[in-house]
Structure 1
Amino acid sequence: MILRFSGQGQGPGCLVVQSCRKGGATAQCTNDSEAGMKLLEDLTENANQVQQKVLEEILTQNVHTQYLRGFLHGCTDKELFKKKVPIVNYEDMKPYIERIANGEPSEIISAQPITELLTSSGTSGGQPKMMPSTAEDLERKTFFYNILVPVMNEYVDGLDQGKGMYLLFIKPEISTPAGLMARPVLTSYYKSNNFRNRPFNRFNVYTSPDETILCPDSKQSMYCQLLCGLVQRDEVLRVGAVFASAFLRAIKFLEDYWIELCSNIRTGHVSDWITDPGSRNAVSLILRRPNSDLANLIELECSGKSWEGIIKKLWPRTKYIEVIVTGSMAQYIQTLEFYSGGIPLVSTMYASSECYFGINLKPLSKPSDVSYTLLPNMAFFEFLPLEKNHDRMTYEVQCNGISDPTCRENEDDRLESEAVDLANVKVGHLYELVVTTFTGLYRYRVGDILMVTGFHNNAPQFRFVQRRNVVLSIDTDKTNEEDLLNAVAQAKLIIEPHGFLLTEYTSYADTSSMPGHYVLFWELKMRGSNDLPEVELEVVTMEKCCSTIEESLDSVYRRCRKKDKSIGPLEIRLVKHGTFDALMDYCVSQGSSVNQYKTPRCIKSEEAIQILNSRVVGRFFSKKDPSWEPFKIGAK
């Protein structure tokens, strides 16, 4: 079967399901749980057939684009596509996308008009990547969100009897020289008619009015959404945000503002500093009148000795917390569990700016057991096998925070290996995800490493292992090893005139407090001596090093630091001489090879971090926010 997206009177998320066999087309709406689960069963049962039909449709539609014509010369044969069209990364596609951004026709890569560019949190040359999107792709995303409803209804009863307190936010956007909007994928969705005119059912009812979600001031948006969630606490059945980091940021915000929020509830008036007209009016309609009883209750809970279990205390009917807790967000699980009061953590979906990929068909599974089933109608999926020892790579991910060197080296050898189709992956094996989309990406390396954990019907299920090359991440930032190396190189220029040499460094993402921040461990020596420098005399210099590193990182990091305040000031911890020898001894004792050992540029092992922290002799923080402004696309 193949799924076509219908815009004709059936509402967002409704589909026309067309059988590959003889027969007509029937409409199915994913707001119907029974029909939605039947649709999922059909998709996963016929995963290979759906995939082949998807590729056929993409090729038929786009074979005459400038990009594909250069390889296929008008032929739509699927095997020729796999043989002739190369597997590419963003740098290969960037010139085509920039040409469209600057006014050339969409037909360069897509037969359908490119209606906007979606900015990815991954970066290229310090700027967010831009992914093409079409009007039909918005319908595809709407289907994806709607298909989550029947899955949750299968596992959690009574979700139609209350509301969701989801904390959702928009990000900065710009207009390209061609007049296309360039913005994050979630900002695109929240501003679309598909979101604002979503079918009215209880599952789609949120405590946050749309005006507060679309408020451009993130502080006002956060305050108003929390205020609305507290006022409607008795109706809240589920809470969440997109990422675990964003939800914990909201909890920290609540810690800072609960007294003022209680005052608003007690008086029935919104604080004067809430000046966004739409937000102020929408919140006033919900606040309506003074409520001293509710204010007193919230005050009692928030003024307690500990905030352990505060989510359950403030929103007692909550059945689950919906946040992404896989990948880099796994570092927040322990903190979430502290605040949750035993409420399950649910990670429902796996998606990116390039494409929406898959859903979690067992949403109540433990975060460490979460697997995603890739929906075969979303794109054509291929997988580059990682043939090396899987246990070894798993160890390297846990200990060093980066994959085995084979995941970064020998790229040409990996690309020469035959990419595997969705139906032919093997349980227990690791793969890098490659997608061909309806929107103009062909055999594109997403950069995600996945492990196959099993099958649902004939559709494989995957556990997200890591982003290729990413070593540090707190929020939507993704800092790779090369970016970190270049930033540290700039900071070294500051200490070298003072007679200091940086002999070794590593890093980790410290999320023990909110917001989290980058920590770099530096081992220094004085030129001609093994003694540690007198760090007390170099505070200003070291603080300048911290700021220089931040200025050298990409625009997504700097936005999170300066505008979103979702990342705290970068920290350098100086360690005493011999610390990195001790780190090597530890890694070798855990199975690393002495001959092949390289100092890991990111550490995730708690034991390794403890070794480093036990030898710290000085701590320094960046004293100013890095510069940031929305990225620009210049005309060629």
Structure 2
Amino acid sequence: MVVERDAIYSTIKVPNCSSPLAVSFIQNYKSFLFMHALFALVEPKLETINTLFTTTCRDLCRAIHDQWDDFIHCIETGVVPDLEGIDRVKENLQRFLQPNPDRAEELRRIGKAVETPGWFRQIWPELRVILATASGPFSTVIPEIRHYIGPDVSLETLTIASSEAFLALAYDPRDLNLYKVVGSDDVIEFLPVDEPEESRCLAQTWNVEPGKKYEVVLTTRDGFWRYRLGDVVEVVGFDSRDGQPVVRYVERRNMHIRIANEVTTETQLRSVVDATSDLLGGVSEFCVCPDYRESVGRYAFMVELQGNLGENAATAPSSLHASLQNLNENYLRDSLSGKIDVPAVRVLRPGTFGEFREWKIRTSGGAAVGQVKVPVVVWDEGSRMWLEGRVNCDV
């Protein structure tokens, strides 16, 4: 889309899309979600919800839940509310929102049936699929999304992509972490994670080995030369049709936490949270920070829950500790020697990570609303303090 034509694009509504393009020009994250949700709710025949990441989809689900009555009022009156950050596109948004008292009454009869799995199928009987990147750190919100959509709507992952290049497409819709590397004008190379970080060790798409993990290295027509993306994938085989590698996303290469002499990776952190999620009552999103509030350092798991705290939540810190010891022999050694204490589990108030994305967009000076991610490990003091200010309780 040509930047000089933005004024024209913002007046258009693409056929078969619920939202007019003007919504895409909204930089305030909450307002962006509100307007997408509003135009989606107007359309009773909605079939597909397409978001870049599952976390954005989860934020959309919660926006519909939290502002249900506001949406019904807007649909009934046909009035776009005065939201932050929509001034320059409000007129174009208003053109596409007409009073629809029949749809408002239909939604009012359905009610906010969020306790019932599959509420969205009551809102949109023809909803068939949610499209969103769902691998790696985006997998933890899947149970919450499935609660909203129910068993009859499929959740399908999309791609491994970045601002720099398009890397891989979903290979099997039933497997949320299986992708095929695409053949493109960009050159994609693979740096083995267990070999020296030198160009002589690079592998090409035709000689990577199944079962090995590689960091993706990119050369583009636009000027990047052997640019390290930092994404690690595991090769599981090759597509029989064109020979391209089939991969699983593993983690960010340098995303880890270290308190003593151990190094705990993103994959290990996700694994122990998955194993402990049910004890806490269902972890929707999380991140980990170093915690030095006591004399011995420890990990602080900052978690947002799908619902209420679980009855056995008090056992979660020791369970996390034991899981980390089983996965990481250096963590085991340092914890037994008293260098690492039992992790803290800090429960954040509902909606915190959605608010975090909005805060990062606002303070970043213009990041795209769909691309802000919560890192699995948070080191910077500003983000850590922001999160700590939203802790509901310590387990």
TM-score band, normalised by the shorter chain?
0.5 to 0.7
Q: Using the aligned pairs only, state the percent identity.
A: 20
Task: Work out whether residues 54 and 132 of structure 2, in 8 Å CA contact, stay in contact via their aligned partners in 1.
Answer: yes
Q: Which residue of 2 aligns with 1:312?
A: 121
Q: Which residue of 1 aligns with 2:135?
A: 326
Q: 1:449 aligns with which of 208, 214, 232?
A: 232
Q: What is the CA distance between 1:275 and its match in structure 2?
A: 7.9
- The superposition leaves residues 92-130 of structure 1 with CA deviations (integer Å, 9 ceiling, x where unpaired) of xxxxxxxxxxxxxxxxxxxxxxxxxxxxxxxxxxxxxxx
Q: Sort the Cα spacing of 1:619 and 1:222 in 2 relative to 1 into closer, same or farther, 3 A.
A: closer
Q: Which runs of 5+ in 1 are unaligned?
A: 1-188, 388-410, 473-477, 496-500, 515-572, 600-610
- The superposition leaves residues 291-341 of structure 1 with CA deviations (integer Å, 9 ceiling, x where unpaired) of 333112212333336152122221221221011111110111111111111
Give the secondary-structure state (helix, strand or coil) at the position aligned to 1:337: helix
Task: Work out whether residues 50 and 130 of structure 2, in 8 Å CA contact, stay in contact via their aligned partners in 1.
Answer: yes
More helix per residue: 1 or 2? Answer: 1
Alpha-carbon separation, structure 1, partners of 2:32 and 2:77: 20
Q: Which residue of 2 aligns with 1:384?
A: 191
Q: 1:221 aligns with which of 32, 40, 46?
A: 32
The structure that has the greater radius of gyration is 1
Structure 1 residues 391-470: aligned runs within 5 Å: 413-415=196-198, 418-456=201-239, 457=241, 458-470=243-255
Q: Sort the Cα spacing of 1:284 and 1:193 in 2 relative to 1 into closer, same or farther, 3 A.
A: closer
Alpha-carbon separation, structure 1, partners of 2:94 and 2:348: 44
Alpha-carbon separation, structure 2, partners of 1:620 and 1:207: 33
Alpha-carbon separation, structure 2, partners of 1:620 and 1:338: 21
Give the secondary-structure state (helix, strand or coil) at the position aligned to 1:502: coil
Q: Which residue of 2 aligns with 1:253?
A: 63
Structure 1 residues 106-255: aligned runs within 5 Å: 205-234=16-45, 236-255=46-65
Task: Work out whether residues 47 and 129 of structure 2, in 8 Å CA contact, stay in contact via their aligned partners in 1.
Answer: yes
- Equivalent AA in structure 2 for residue 327 of structure 1: G
Pairwise CA RMSD = 4.1
Alpha-carbon separation, structure 1, partners of 2:175 and 2:91: 40
Tell me the TM-score normalized by structure 1.
0.43
- The superposition leaves residues 452-502 of structure 1 with CA deviations (integer Å, 9 ceiling, x where unpaired) of 122222111111011112249xxxxx9xx9xx99x85xx85xx6xxxxx43
Q: What is the CA distance between 1:274 and its match in structure 2?
A: 7.3
Alpha-carbon separation, structure 1, partners of 2:112 and 2:212: 50
Q: What is the CA distance between 1:595 and its match in structure 2?
A: 9.1
- The superposition leaves residues 326-368 of structure 1 with CA deviations (integer Å, 9 ceiling, x where unpaired) of 1110111111111111211111211112222121143x2232x
Alpha-carbon separation, structure 2, partners of 1:219 and 1:595: 40
Q: Sort the Cα spacing of 1:596 and 1:419 in 2 relative to 1 into closer, same or farther, 3 A.
A: farther
Alpha-carbon separation, structure 2, partners of 1:597 and 1:378: 48
Q: Is the aligned partner of 1:266 residue 2:76? A: yes
Task: Work out whether residues 382 and 420 of structure 1, in 8 Å CA contact, stay in contact via their aligned partners in 2.
Answer: yes
Q: What is the CA distance between 1:283 and its match in structure 2?
A: 3.5
Alpha-carbon separation, structure 1, partners of 2:35 and 2:53: 19
Task: Work out whether residues 331 and 511 of structure 1, in 8 Å CA contact, stay in contact via their aligned partners in 2.
Answer: no
Q: Which residue of 2 aligns with 1:505?
A: 298
Task: Work out whether residues 324 and 332 of structure 2, in 8 Å CA contact, stay in contact via their aligned partners in 1.
Answer: no
- The superposition leaves residues 422-465 of structure 1 with CA deviations (integer Å, 9 ceiling, x where unpaired) of 11112222111111111222122211110112222211111101
Q: Which runs of 5+ in 2 are unaligned?
A: 258-265, 270-286, 308-312, 336-341, 367-395
Task: Work out whether residues 232 and 253 of structure 2, in 8 Å CA contact, stay in contact via their aligned partners in 1.
Answer: yes
Q: Sort the Cα spacing of 1:468 and 1:435 in 2 relative to 1 into closer, same or farther, 3 A.
A: same
Q: What is the CA distance between 1:266 and its match in structure 2?
A: 1.9
Q: Is the aligned partner of 1:349 residue 2:159? A: yes
- Equivalent AA in structure 1 for residue 248 of structure 2: R
Number of residues paired by the alignment? 316
Task: Work out whether residues 351 and 358 of structure 1, in 8 Å CA contact, stay in contact via their aligned partners in 2.
Answer: yes
Tell me the TM-score normalized by structure 2.
0.67
- Equivalent AA in structure 2 for residue 459 of structure 1: Q
